[in-house]
Amino acid sequence: MKAAPFAYSRPETLDEACALLAADDGARLIAGGQTLAPLMAMRLARPTRLVDIARLPGLAFVRQDGDTIAIGAATTQRAAEAHALVRGKLPLLARALPWVGHAATRARGTVGGSLANADPAAEIALVAVTLGARLRYRDGASEAELAAADFFVGPMVTALPLTAVLTAVRFPVWDARVGVAFHEMSARRSDFAFAAAAAQVALGPDGACARLAIGVGAATEFPLRLATAERALTGTRPTQAAIRAAVAEALADMTPMADLHASADYRRRVVQSLAARAITDAIADGGARHVH
């Protein structure tokens, strides 16, 4: 349970960080290290160099950016969870963050680290896909942005170039009467989820769903947004039967993962129930709230 030897660098700038990554194929970024450090302890990862960006200036922030909230990649999950802008304007992310690991891992683990790590069970990734967040990165001298839906490619695999540094993620803010819900199923609280679902709805003056965002995670290799269910339910005041039917249709082609702890059939069944419950609960939650 000791990591293999590696070199350690702590760059002061993004340029320097990118140069260090470009110079060595075996170099890896570390910020909070809450996943990388155990992988290294078990020698499942053996980077030749760690490039530490945990305290790189300008990477830890939460701020309003037009009609989005931008969160710096090195912002700790704990800081994001406590931030007034997240609590006030990103209620779905605020609801999901307490499910991420434990208090002691959220104190070091970062928002960007969780996204770049792309664990299928990761809550922040699920919220990013559900809300259509955009991820910004720096690769050498160039900056680019990816939609969350294009960012996650497979379990622990993203479209982020190996030499790039994820710098920020922007979550859209809905200017509406918003309700949210986040549910997950795991063996114990804070263990890796077998299935998870997130929903955000905006209710019109008549109480109908003016806008919906629904996503599921943990059951599949990366989070999925249930676009067909969103379309089917928008403009309606859906019954339970309608919600269940829309979810079942949206997930008809899903390929659930399977392991010792949860079979594919179990995950399919649970993720459908959680998604339907998330939609129902988000609509119920919508009555009380106005995000602006």
Partner 1 sequence: MSIELAVNGQIHRVDVEPRMTLLDCLRDKLLLTGAHAGCEHGVCGACTVLLDGVAVRSCLMFCVQADGYAITTIEGLTPAPGELSVLQDAFCETHGMQCGYCTPAMILAAHALLAGNPAPTRDEIVEAISGNICRCTGYAQIVEAIALAAERLRGANRPAEP
Q: Distance (Å, rounded) from C-alpha 51 to C-alpha 228?
A: 42
CB of 38 to partner 1, least distance (A): 4
Question: Nearest Cα to 179, choosing from 280, 277, 260, 276?
Answer: 280
Please identify which residue in 65, 88, 104, 237 interacts with partner 1, judged by CB under 8 A.
104
Residue 273's φ and ψ, nearest 5 degrees, are -65, -45
CB of 34 to partner 1, least distance (A): 6
CB of 112 to partner 1, least distance (A): 16
Q: Could you say whether residue 41 binds partner 1 (CB under 8 A)? A: yes
Alpha helices per DSSP H over 97-179: 103-106, 111-117, 123-131, 148-151
Q: Distance (Å, rounded) from C-alpha 123 to C-alpha 221?
A: 13
Q: Could you say whether residue 1 binds partner 1 (CB under 8 A)? A: yes
Provide CB contacts within 8 A for 84, sequence distance 6+: none
Please identify which residue in 21, 29, 30, 133 interacts with partner 1, judged by CB under 8 A.
30
Q: Could you say whether residue 7 binds partner 1 (CB under 8 A)? A: yes
Note the Cα 239 to chain centre separation in Å.
29
Contact status, residue 99 vs residue 120, Cβ threshold 8 Å: no
Q: Could you say whether residue 6 binds partner 1 (CB under 8 A)? A: yes
CB of 103 to partner 1, least distance (A): 6
Please identify which residue in 101, 179, 215, 256 interacts with partner 1, judged by CB under 8 A.
101
CB of 6 to partner 1, least distance (A): 6
Q: Could you say whether residue 5 binds partner 1 (CB under 8 A)? A: yes
Q: Distance (Å, rounded) from C-alpha 116 to C-alpha 180?
A: 25
CB of 98 to partner 1, least distance (A): 8
Q: Could you say whether residue 57 binds partner 1 (CB under 8 A)? A: no
Q: Could you say whether residue 33 binds partner 1 (CB under 8 A)? A: yes
Q: Could you say whether residue 88 binds partner 1 (CB under 8 A)? A: no
Q: Could you say whether residue 156 binds partner 1 (CB under 8 A)? A: no
Q: Could you say whether residue 187 binds partner 1 (CB under 8 A)? A: no
Nearer to partner 1, 44 or 252 (CB): 44
Q: Distance (Å, rounded) from C-alpha 272 to C-alpha 210?
A: 22
Residue 54's φ and ψ, nearest 5 degrees, are -55, -35
Q: How far is CA 267 from CA 49, 195, 285, in A?
A: 38, 6, 26
- Write out the residues near partner 1 by the rule CB under 8 A: 1-8, 10, 30, 33-34, 37-38, 40-42, 50, 52, 54-55, 78, 101-105, 107-108, 189-190
